[in-house]
């Protein structure tokens, strides 16, 4: 724990370690370590800040284990390649150039999260990961064999457990891809439930574009019979709003893409 506290995140720099004991006013039942694919990145100081008012996020690496940083940086580079390939396949399926949005990730804000969920003797009293949709483009999730991830079945709203498959990733389409393709592929609502007997590990990779990227439906997919369903928004300010809300555990709803939905 002493080593973990040396790389503890704060409100200014969201990268590093945080746990259930140090989360303000909420009984989070997990420990987390976040790091960027690029060792440093910039995002808007807040969702209300001027476009030139930026703050820097920087990775914090513990001294021990000695190979921790090298191992995780290599992992991030390899999963990043997979994310690019998945993005290209999505746009090919829509009849668009495979690399249409690759330039958006030149100065990406992508990150990896290490999640550790200890056994919880009173799961009904703990906050695991509540229902939500991921804000980024694509999420590549590695998890152990314990399970705990659940997704909403669209037909009836029931929560369906996602059974772990050995040596396989779970791929989530995020909000950005949903907006880009104007609801052709939808971001999936999901949650995590804690286990009363077993610990659980998971490693999501969040494929995020650069802070200056403006997100809106692709022009080639918008026409008379398929009008644009979302107003344009800035990814960096969207992320900054989410980031501050998550850190402070505010009793308000996180910003969502439906806040940018165009009324029909």
Residue in this structure with the two tokens 């104007």, named with its chain if needed: 182
Gap between the Cα atoms of 119 and 134, Å rounded: 25
What are the structural domain ranges in the chain?
18-260
Per-residue pLDDT tens over the stretch 114-159? 999 888 777 666 555 678 899 999 999 999 999 889 999 989 989 9
Q: Is the pLDDT of residue 237 over 80?
A: yes
Overall average pLDDT of the 186-197 stretch: 86
Q: Please say whether the dihedral angle defined by the alpha carbons of residues 234, 237, 242 and 243, taken in this order, is positive or negative.
A: positive
Distance CA(159)–CA(157), nearest Å, equals: 7
For residues 128, 134, 140 and 141, what is the CA-based torsion angle, rounded to 10 degrees? 10
Query: What's the pLDDT at 43?
Result: 83
Neighbours of 170 (CB within 10 A): 18
Average pLDDT over residues 231-238: 93
Count the Cβ atoms, other than its own, within 10 Å of residue 26.
Answer: 10
Assign domain 18-260 to its CATH architecture: Sandwich (2.60)
* Residue 60 near residue 14, CB atoms below 8 Å: no
pTM equals 0.88
The pLDDT value recorded for residue 32 is 93
Contact 176, 105 (CB under 8 A): no
- Tell me the H-state helices in the chain: 2-5, 68-93, 175-180, 235-248
What residues pair up with 148 in beta bridges, in sequence order?
Answer: none
């Amino acid at each position: 724990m002493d080593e973990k506290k040396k790389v503890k995140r704060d409100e200014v720099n969201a990268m590093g370690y945080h746990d259930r004991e140090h989360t303000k006013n909420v009984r989070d039942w997990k420990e987390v370590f976040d790091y960027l694919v690029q060792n440093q990145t910039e995002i808007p100081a807040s969702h209300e800040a001027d476009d030139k008012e930026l703050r820097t996020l920087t990775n914090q690496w513990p001294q021990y284990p000695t190979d921790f940083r090298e191992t995780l940086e290599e992992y991030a580079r390899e999963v990043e390649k997979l994310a690019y390939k998945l993005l290209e396949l999505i746009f090919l399926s829509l009849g668009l150039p495979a690399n249409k949005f690759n330039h958006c990730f030149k100065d990406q804000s992508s990150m990896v999260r290490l999640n550790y969920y200890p056994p919880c003797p009173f799961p009904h009293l703990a906050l695991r990961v509540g229902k939500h949709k991921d804000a980024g483009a694509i999420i590549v999730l590695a998890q152990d064999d314990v399970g705990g991830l659940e997704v909403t079945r669209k037909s009836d709203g029931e929560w369906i457990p996602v059974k772990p498959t050995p040596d396989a990733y779970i791929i989530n389409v995020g909000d950005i891809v949903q907006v880009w393709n104007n609801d052709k592929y939808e971001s999936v609502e999901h949650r995590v439930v804690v286990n009363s007997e077993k610990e659980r590990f998971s490693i999501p990779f969040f494929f995020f574009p650069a802070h200056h990227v403006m997100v809106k439906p692709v022009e080639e997919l918008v026409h008379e019979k398929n009008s644009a369903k979302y107003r344009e928004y800035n990814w960096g300010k969207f992320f900054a709003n989410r980031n501050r809300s998550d850190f402070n555990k505010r009793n308000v709803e996180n910003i969502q893409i439906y806040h940018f939905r165009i009324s029909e």
